[in-house]
Amino acid sequence: MRRKLVVGNWKMNGSLATIAELDAIAAAAGRAPGIDVAVAMPATLIAPAVARMPGFAIGAQDVHQDKSGAHTGCVSADMVREAGAAFTIVGHSERRTDQHETDADVKAKAETARGAGLSVILCVGETLTQRDAGEAERVVTDQLAASLPAGAAADWLAIAYEPIWAIGTGRVPGEADAAAMHGAIRAALCGLLGEAGAAVRILYGGSVTGENAGLLLHIEDVDGALVGGASLTAAKFVPIVEAAQR
């Protein structure tokens, strides 16, 4: 049995004032004991968020693949761990695009994060052009195979399938397409990890809202959600938590 996992991703949003939203989010998580809830914060807000909400899972959105060194402006896995992060996202499509991160970079980041004691959410997803060309499953399973960290296991790794065309657009895949892709990712995980692949959670991400979460989260092999825009306020995020718990 895989517990559902709902993760917010605040991206480059938020401030010391808006971390007060976490109060109601953590309270909703407390009313949903059957699922896991977490929020990935901007690096500067991790320590204040952890101080405000001890016991609630706060994470980072990225870490560098090196443990330390001459990488101006970057943040290491040890640094976010020391700030109190329990996990990090790696391989988000915005970083793969904006920072030109490769599958090899993403794999290295995941392994460094694991070495620092962080859990990892590894993102994969296709462009609209790739989907329209009928290449979505191949692209996503190739990405997965090339970015899966050594020693991948369900107790520290989850996969987030995030079709790039669904992120921040209000578009979501139909039920059949989502089920087919999550099934393909499950098959790929089992091919790569054997029986252990069956336990790894596969989240869906891309325009999840309180309105569509009930449907999306009950598709087979959809084990939770990675939520961007709708995680910024408790008013929008809590209904998603509640839909996952039902």
Catalytic amino acids?
Answer: 92, 162
Q: Which is nearer to ligand PEP, 108 or 226 (CB)?
A: 226
Question: What are the two backbone dihedrals, phi and then psi, of residue 17, each rounded to the nearest 5 degrees?
Answer: -70, -40
Using CB under 6 A as the binding rule, whether residue 101 contacts ligand PEP is answered as no
Can you say whether residue 56 is alpha, beta or left, with left for phi > 0 and alpha for psi between -120 and 50 degrees? beta
If the CB atoms of residues 165 and 193 are measured against ligand PEP, the closer one turns out to be: 165
Shortest CB 81 distance to ligand PEP, Å: 22
Dist CA 182 CA 221 (whole Å): 6
Tell the smallest beta-carbon distance from residue 96 to ligand PEP (Å).
12
**First-to-final CA distance of the chain:** 15
Q: How far is the CB of 196 from ligand PEP (least distance, A)?
A: 25
- The correct pick among 217, 227, 241, 244 for binding ligand PEP (CB under 6 A) is 227
Query: How far is 172 from 24, CA to CA, in rounded Å?
Result: 27
Is residue 228 involved in binding ligand PEP (CB under 6 A)?
A: yes
Which DSSP letter does residue 197 get? G
What's the token pair of residue 28? 């909703």
What residue type is 199 in one-letter code? A
Using CB under 6 A as the binding rule, the residues of this chain from 145 to 204 that contact ligand PEP are 162, 167-168
Residue 229 CB, nearest approach to ligand PEP (Å): 3
**Sign of the CA dihedral 91, 161, 211, 239?**
negative
Q: Which is nearer to ligand PEP, 149 or 206 (CB)?
A: 206
Contact residues toward ligand PEP (CB under 6 A) are 9, 162, 167-168, 205-208, 226-230
